[in-house]
Structures are given as structure tokens and as C-alpha cells.
Structure 1
């Protein structure tokens, strides 16, 4: 993330999803979910809109949900040696052919994304008529675009942090927690770039911020590379 030195024109895009689930890959084999979408998931959402393989632009994001729960989900794993092949789209009901796991999920997920510069203009245009269905997380978790409007990002020393995703040194809000999440995933899904972020699950009001912008509503925005 670069040091803000001048105002930047950007698009503010608001989304809503009735249900979404973000598995934490740092807990393999366990039912542990993230409380917000990682930046890599948001990049996938933007790439679905434009039809590109990836969208590497720096963007700002804020996210929160109104509720959470745990659902029971049936998995039909297929063995690597082919001994349990799929039949009519499902594996045979033999030992190891089915398992039930808990799946944490979020309800009424709100996501705001700030898209600066020429790439922001391009993506904003694509969001009006997406190339592919917009999803947030799993393939069945559709997301609904709500608002898309222009805003101005101005360098700030104090702003409303609330649910904005920030780098580790972005602010000192006491109720913030650190989350290690995927910043991006390669198109072949063989490599992941990880980063640590600050996030607050409750509104915070205005606080001192570092290396941040604020939009025309006083919301703190960090442009995440």
C-alpha cells in the first residue's frame, strides 16, 4: 500500500448477499469460517464482472454481516485412486463415500468496495452488466449489487474506521482483531499470497488512521495491493 499524497477519484460499489460462507484454509479439516470475505474472494467477484482471469488492482473494502450460524452439509468425496467413482454425479454409498460436516455461514453480508483510477472505471462499467454471475464465496452464494456511484478519496489522519479492512499498522482501534487472509490466489490455484489485516466486527466511530484515505462520507479506506 502506498502513502496517500493526493485525492483520488474512485467508484464506491455496495453489495449484499443473503448467505455466504468463507472457509478459513489455515484450519484444514476443521469447520472454521472467516467473519468476512478475504480480499482474494473480492478479487474473484470483480474478475467475474469483467470476465478477466484476475483483477490485480489495489482496492479498498469494508464488510460485515448481520448474523451467523452453522449448517450441516453432506460431502461426497471421491478417492484419488478411483476406487469410489461417481455414479450419477455422486459417489457410491460405501465406507468413506459420504460424510456430514458442519459449515459455518454468515447471514445478510454487506460488502463495500472502493475502486480507484482507470481500472476502477473499467470495473464499474462491467458491474453494470457482469460477464459472469456474481458470487461471494462458494458457487451457490450469489451476491446482489446494490449501489454504484462516484466518490473522492482524500488523504486522512482521522476517519470512521467501522468495518473497513486495514493493514496491521493502519490504526490503533482497541476492538480490532487481526486476521490472516488470502490477498490473492494464482489463476491455477497453486499459490496463495497471504497478509495480515485489522478488522472490527462492531462500529467504531472516528479514530486516528495512518496511510489511509476517507471517502465523501468520512469512511476510512485503505487501498490494498
Structure 2
């Protein structure tokens, strides 16, 4: 028997970032960029707004970028044993310490976050006056809040999927790609919760969905657990 879900009220927060980069940690040693921010990154953004160590509420996400590129970046590897205090633990330049690598990035990143219930009210208030600067991933990637509006989320079996992040098996869009990403990271950064998500890199229109809500604009929303 399917689980009965009740309609919910939520805040819809829209953001934009001129440049952002989300390195895929499943490819160590390679600068591989994810096509959208992982849920753990968004939880970090919300924690910056509230000043809390972590924000682990269920939330909905949709994200896409208008373009992408590759930049050259300087890397300074850290010595594993912390030796060479003259360079504060960094590997000496003469030993291959400093190097230039290509860094993929996204351009003109659009992000929408749905924040349901009382916890959503609390975070929406913090987004109006953030405790810390809002950044999308890396410390230099500033994100700009665009809109914060109330919306109604109602259970649905058909909605506009577009670039919404969905649990695996949540829909059957042929162009969807499965990504394994961090749902949340512990405050000491020693443990990570991983999950599989479906994401479409192109608009889809209204399609059958499973376990989804629909907001006032017809967008499919999946409330993702931390």
C-alpha cells in the first residue's frame, strides 16, 4: 500500500551564482566537476545562513548551469608527515610541490531550494539576514539570493521534472542520469552519508513521477532526507 502524504507549506528560495565548482570526491586525483551542487553543499549554505553547525532538515532541490569551462589553477600539496616547516608543511617547489592543474567550473548556476514546515520558516528568516556569507561550494564562489516566496506542496503523480534532484526510481525520464553524491557530511568531516540521485540536464515538461510533490508553479519537488 502506498504511503499517504499530506500537502505541505514550504518556502521556495531561488539563488544564482556567476561561477561555481563542485569536485566529485569519487574520482580522487582528478578534477572532475559535478553538473550541480550535492545536497551536502546546500546544507552547508543553509548552515551559513543560520550560523548552526549543520542543517539536516528534509529539503527539495533543483539546479542547472547555463554553461561550463576549464580554468588553470595553482595547487600546493601538503606534506603527509607535516615536515619542512619552512613552507608550513607544504611540499617544496623543487620536489614537485607546486603544480598547475585544470579546474572545470560551471557558469551562471541557477539553484532552487524548497524548505518545508516550521524548520523551513526558521531558515527562511535566516536567509533574509544570513549569519555568514553565502557561498556555493568553494570559499570564493559567492551565491546571490534572488527570491524567497511561500508555496504549497501537494502530493502528485505528474509534474514538471526539469532539473529537480530526485531519489533513484522516482521517475522514468530516459535522459535522466544517476549520480552518487554526499547527502550530508558530519561536522568533524570524518563521515559522509551517500545517496543515489536522478537528475536531468535538460527541461522535460510534465511527466509521471513517484513520491513527489508539486509546487505552485507545477515543478516536481522531492523532499530529500539528510
Look up the match of 1:32.
Answer: 32
Q: Is the 8 A contact 1:4 1:213 kept in 2?
A: no
Look up the match of 1:186.
Answer: 186
Match of 1:121, SS state, is helix
Q: Is the 8 A contact 2:82 2:90 kept in 1?
A: no
> How far, CA to CA, are the matches of 1:46 and 1:96 in structure 2?
38
Look up the match of 2:221.
Answer: 221
Cα gap change, 1:27 to 1:4, in 2 (>3 Å): farther
> How far, CA to CA, are the matches of 2:31 and 2:132 in structure 1?
29
Look up the match of 1:176.
Answer: 176
Q: Is the 8 A contact 2:75 2:101 kept in 1?
A: yes
Cα gap change, 1:4 to 1:120, in 2 (>3 Å): farther
Look up the match of 1:22.
Answer: 22
CA displacement at 1:96 relative to structure 2: 2.4
RMSD: 1.6
> How far, CA to CA, are the matches of 1:105 and 1:85 in structure 2?
33
Instruction: List aligned pairs for 1:145-224, cutoff 5 A.
Output: 145-224=145-224
Look up the match of 1:131.
Answer: 131
TM-score of the superposition, structure 2-length normalised? 0.95
CA displacement at 1:86 relative to structure 2: 5.5
Cα gap change, 1:78 to 1:89, in 2 (>3 Å): closer
Cα gap change, 1:72 to 1:9, in 2 (>3 Å): same
Match of 2:47, SS state, is helix
Look up the match of 1:48.
Answer: 48
Look up the match of 2:95.
Answer: 95
Q: Is the 8 A contact 2:49 2:127 kept in 1?
A: yes
CA displacement at 1:83 relative to structure 2: 3.2
> How far, CA to CA, are the matches of 1:89 and 1:143 in structure 2?
32
How many residue pairs get matched? 224
Match of 2:183, SS state, is strand
TM-score of the superposition, structure 1-length normalised? 0.95
Question: Which deviations, in whole Å up to 9, do the C-alpha atoms of 1:141-197 show, x marking residues without a partner?
Answer: 110000000000000010000000000111111110000000000000000010000
Match of 1:123, SS state, is helix
Match of 1:43, SS state, is helix
